[in-house]
Chains A and B, each alone.
Chain A
Amino acid sequence: MDEQTLTQESGTRTIAAADAAGVNKDDVIAVLGNFTDPDKLTHAAQEIHAAGFVDFDIYTPYPVHGLDKAMGLPKTKLPLFSIGGAAFGLANAIFLQWWTATIQYPLNIGGKPYFSPWFGMPVMFELTVLLCALTTVFVMFGLMCGLPKWWHPLQDDEGFRKAVDDTHVVSIEAADARFTVESATALLGRLGADDVRVVTA
């Protein structure tokens, strides 16, 4: 390895695509390429999906509309969790208000009925919205994004860090059945990615 190879804190190394010929294939984690133009990126996502890759991901500093479709991602199951959380919140609000106000500790307040859907509605609304939102956020973080995650094999790559600034980063992962360093680098190069590189362990 020459001076283009950087050894980083966590032990991963980034090698420019041009120098990747001699790399040990078992050490390769992913091939990365950067895009600045979101239209080019969407096109690239379509092409990578069409080429048959499944284990690839795209890191963007902001939501790029239509990328999920271009990547061929399946429809998310998140709304099912959301409506489940909402129904749980609603049931909780109705039961807790009804049970505390009529069974557990009935209080006569200004001659009003012990329980009525009218006064219960704000709490029902709030708990429905609250549990719907909390379920959505935490299911998304936990089940879909795999958080909390203390370390990611790509995090020490200089170019990867631009994904939180002004660059979209595409990574084709070595776990993919079709993956070879040559095919992935060639594909990203053909699609117009800047700074195509290989990250190894």
Chain B
Amino acid sequence: MSTMTERNFMLRDTKFVKSLETVGFALLIIGVVAGVASFLLMDADHEPLKRFFSSYLLAYTYFLGVAVTAMFFSALQYLVNAGWSALVRRIAEMFAPFIFVIILGFIPIVIDVFSTHQLFEWTHAGVMDPNAANFDPILKGKDWFLNPTFFVGRVIFYCVVWFLMYQTIVKNSLRQDEAGDDHTPTRRNKTLAAPMVILYALTISFAGIDLVMTLYPHWYSTMFGVQFFGGSFVATLSIIALFTVFLKEGGYLPQVTSEHYHDLGKMMFAFNVFWAYVSFSQFMLIWYGNLPEETVYFMDYRLVGGFEYFFYAIIVLHFALPFILLLPQANKRNPKILGGVAVLIILMHFIDLAWYVNPSLYHGHFTFGLQEISLFLFFAGMFVWMAASQFKSKKAVAVNDPFLEESVHLIS
């Protein structure tokens, strides 16, 4: 233990933090400039307001999944008494404060649900009114769930849960840094991790259902929450792996070895297969069941008009290529290949999510472009910049974690 606490893992003004700040700031500026340009240049016929909200929802949902799942990653390590991860767990915790941006970021979506009505069909005027021309009896039957009040209630519940997760799991991990050999904060986390993981499972599933699945409220899939979790988890693991590679190769975490890369690579591989398994199960059962109200979701929306190329790209670049690249042991231990696959998965998760969000809103029209990308870059900029501020003020390693010594000597 002494060897670890002697080292100061405060990265303060190191090149790593400075580069993170620069990259974050650059992404933020590019996002804003590209966003302003692309939305101002849009034809009024193409509904720029709707496009703004849909691009916002897409980028927002992506980073919601990543920030909340980063806390889940930390809780999971406590829950299963993981020894291997003590050295890299703090990297995930650095992403956790982004949930405050996520909590505030719900406000535009709530505004849309109540007043502008650009996104969700079930908020449109008349669909719940039996006398209106566009009355939809199917949506009327679902109005106990799909109504603005209950929606906001659920959103507040998610925010409270994520705030609690942050206050317990992440804060206790930080308290352990100062607590020396008194392991009370770690013991508390071990107890709290179990209920927090259950609450996480509920909130991430329902957040995925509320934000993405209800964009096309006639369709339903019991797999949807799990597939949103799987995609978010593999993207989060990729971001953790990428940061680990940068920290190790920059010389800030000399204790990280190819054994840690190997274990991170194994988790990325496993959860990429998990995500593919769940996504394919959803698709295959609908193909086989061949029920019109279910197949329309793919046949008329997602496999036509240009979105079918997203589908092929997801199969090849999100599943097949990472599968082949991460299969050999030597590749998982190679920082260049591991980092490269991580970048690929990070980008492809965005394409995967866009393939679920955009077709629901732009029926039959291929809609994906600078607007989506600029808001993604804007959110990515905030995310990286926030991570930089965390690395500036907190230790990059959980220095007093009882498992740290085990993690340093990890042999996988």
Residues of A within 8 A of B (CB): 65-66, 69, 79, 110, 112, 118-119, 121-122
Q: A69-B411, A118-B287 are in contact. List 8 more A-B contacts (CB 8 A).
A: A79-B329, A110-B290, A112-B290, A119-B284, A119-B287, A119-B288, A121-B280, A121-B284
**With A and B bound together, what is the CA distance between A122 and B290 in angstroms?**
17
CB pair B288–A118 under 8 Å, yes or no, is yes
Known A-B contacts A110-B290, A112-B290; the reply to A118 vs B411 at CB < 8 A is no
Does B8 count as interface, using CB distance less than 8 angstroms? Answer: no
CB pair A65–B288 under 8 Å, yes or no, is no
Residues of B within 8 A of A (CB): 280, 283-284, 287-288, 290, 329, 411-412
**With A and B bound together, what is the CA distance between A4 and B137 in angstroms?**
91
**With A and B bound together, what is the CA distance between A122 and B287 in angstroms?**
13
CB pair A65–B290 under 8 Å, yes or no, is no
Q: What are 17 sample pairs from A and B whose C-beta atoms fall under 8 A apart?
A: A65-B411, A65-B412, A66-B411, A69-B411, A79-B329, A110-B290, A112-B290, A118-B283, A118-B284, A118-B287, A118-B288, A119-B284, A119-B287, A119-B288, A121-B280, A121-B284, A122-B284
**CB neighbours of A69 from chain B (8 A):** 411
**With A and B bound together, what is the CA distance between A122 and B285 in angstroms?**
11
**With A and B bound together, what is the CA distance between A122 and B213 in angstroms?**
25
Q: CB-nearest residue of chain A relative to B328?
A: A79
**With A and B bound together, what is the CA distance between A80 and B120 in angstroms?**
51
**With A and B bound together, what is the CA distance between A121 and B319 in angstroms?**
14
The 10 closest A-B pairs by CB, nearest first: A66-B411, A65-B411, A118-B287, A118-B284, A119-B288, A121-B284, A121-B280, A110-B290, A119-B284, A65-B412
Q: CB-nearest residue of chain B relative to A75?
A: B329
**CB neighbours of B288 from chain A (8 A):** 118-119
**With A and B bound together, what is the CA distance between A110 and B283 in angstroms?**
18
A85 to chain B minimum Cβ distance, whole angstroms, is 14
**With A and B bound together, what is the CA distance between A97 and B398 in angstroms?**
53
**With A and B bound together, what is the CA distance between A65 and B288 in angstroms?**
45
**With A and B bound together, what is the CA distance between A121 and B287 in angstroms?**
12
